[in-house]
Amino acid sequence: MATEMLPLALTMGEPAGIGGEITLKCWAERRPADRPFFVIDDPERLSRLGRRIGLDLPVAAIAAPGEAAAVFARALPVLPLSARPTAEPGRPDPAQARLVLESIERAVAAVQAGQAAAVVTNPIQKETLYAAGFRHAGHTEFLAELAGGDVHPIMMLACPQLRVVPATVHRSLRAAIAMVSVELILTAGRITARALRQDFGIAEPVLAVAGLNPHAGENGSLGSEEIEIIVPAIEILRSEGIDVRGPMPADTMFHARARAKYDAALCMYHDQALIPLKTIDFDGGVNVTLGLPFVRTSPDHGTALDIAGTGVAHAGSLQAAMTMAGEIAGRRRAAAARAAIAAE
């Protein structure tokens, strides 16, 4: 099947969260030009959830990803899990962890087998997985293991107005500061620049690198990390032909005029990157994992247990994640086709 026709593989996410609701809403609000998707979940669970929130939609079990495109126009295609999740909305249960992970594993397997164009993941409840023995920090690290080989995944958060990459992700602020190094910035910068070219179609990407300290250290008077770590990393990236600006004071690099001068901001820690993006576009942000051999996106929000089962959850971020996944998959396929022609 041609990649343009391949469906997206959507995971269940935390069954006690809003993943099922926003999945149903995405199908209900589908547009003719949207790429088909299937969700790895339980058909009866989704039907029951739909009735609960006033979306009594047709749901159809499929036996294989290849059936999704034919079903998509008339019903939400669901590739059934090996068992039925029993968690109620707002009440996560560690006993469901194996099904959450099964959904992710099967989505990745579908992409690796050429049966799906990309993986789109609904939010997971990490505490619930940890209670069941999950040993990874989160989705990204688990996906890296499933990818196999020597991969270094990088988290990007993207919306139409801004793209951000935190060099350190799910670490305490104290630990994140200790982790910042020349090599860490180099790895993040190289992967981000390559992804901007390959996945976002930007021929000559510009990276803006944030400082770690207030006012980017003010020449060492407010901290030495810029002088000792960040500037040397920037100089190496520039020597490799990457257009890098900085280090920039984080409090002045995210207003509209500043954003117009770069394609992605490389930040030093989680909140430095995510606060501006979520402030600019809370409902439309997309989590993109760079550095994987397959395409993966996710909505830029959590499981929202407090509103699960009420029907008020917004599907905008998941819709944006699906759109972006399809676009990136298309660009990768086009690039592979060009490379194949050049090799002949």
Both tokens of residue 19? Answer: 């993943």
Quick one: pLDDT at residue 295? 95
Predicted confidence band at 169 (pLDDT cuts at 50, 70, 90)?
confident
* pLDDT in the model for residue 126: 85
Confidence of residue 269 (pLDDT cuts 50, 70, 90): very high
In this predicted structure, what is the pLDDT of residue 341?
77
Chain mean pLDDT for the chain = 92
pLDDT at residue 191 above 70?
yes
- Give the span between the Cα atoms of 243 and 203, in whole angstroms: 11
Domain 161-280's class? alpha beta
DSSP-based three-state secondary structure for 47: helix
End-to-end CA distance of the chain: 22
* CB 127 within 8 Å of CB 270: no
Q: Which of 294, 302, 295, 307 is nearest to 318 (CA)?
A: 302
The alpha carbon of residue 167 and the mean position of all alpha carbons in its chain are separated, in whole angstroms, by: 15
The predicted pLDDT at position 155 comes to 92
Q: Give the fold, CATH level 3, of 1-151+314-344.
A: Isopropylmalate Dehydrogenase (3.40.718)
Domains 1-151+314-344 and 161-280 share a fold: yes
| Position 301 pLDDT exceeds 80 | yes
State how far the alpha carbon of 200 is from the alpha carbons of 84, 114, 205, 283, 331, in Å: 38, 22, 10, 21, 8
> Does the pLDDT value for residue 2 go beyond 80?
no
Give the rounded percent of residues in the chain with a pLDDT score beyond 70. 99
Cβ-in-10-Å burial (0-12, 13-18, 19+) of 255 comes to: exposed
The predicted pLDDT at position 297 comes to 96
- Report yes or no: 9 and 338 within 8 Å, Cβ to Cβ: no
Average pLDDT of span 12-20: 94
* pLDDT above 80: residue 337: no
Say if residue 181's pLDDT is above 90. yes
Q: What is the DSSP letter of 81?
A: -
CA distance 242 to 206: 7
- The pLDDT of residue 308 is above 70: yes
Helices marked H in 148-206: 173-179, 182-198
Predicted pLDDT of residue 134: 83
Note the Cα 22 to chain centre separation in Å.
Answer: 16
Determine the residue type at 96: Q
In Å, how far are 163, 164, 183, 241, 267 from 207, measured between CA atoms?
Answer: 10, 10, 16, 12, 10
Mean pLDDT of 232-258: 96
Q: Distance (Å, rounded) from C-alpha 250 to C-alpha 144?
A: 29
Is the pLDDT at 267 greater than 90? The verdict is yes
pLDDT at residue 19 tops 90: yes
What's the mean pLDDT in 88-102? 91
Looking at residue 4, its pLDDT comes to 52
Residue 87, both tokens: 């968690």
Between residues 231 and 132, which one has the greater pLDDT?
A: 231
Domain ranges of the chain: 1-151+314-344, 161-280
Q: What are phi and psi of 120, to 5 degrees?
A: -120, 125
Q: Is the pLDDT of residue 198 over 70?
A: yes
In the predicted model, what is the mean pLDDT of residues 114-121? 96
**Rounded Cα–Cα distance for residues 164 and 253 (Å):** 11
Q: Is the peptide bond before 247 cis (omega within 30 degrees of 0)?
A: yes
The more confident residue out of 326 and 4 is 326
Average pLDDT, stretch 216-230?
91
- Does 139 have pLDDT greater than 50? yes
Taking the whole predicted model, whether its pTM rises above 0.95 is answered as no
Per-residue pLDDT at 3 exceeds 80: no
Q: Give the dihedral sign, CA 259/264/265/271.
A: positive
Find out whether 305 and 48 touch, Cβ atoms under 8 Å. Answer: no
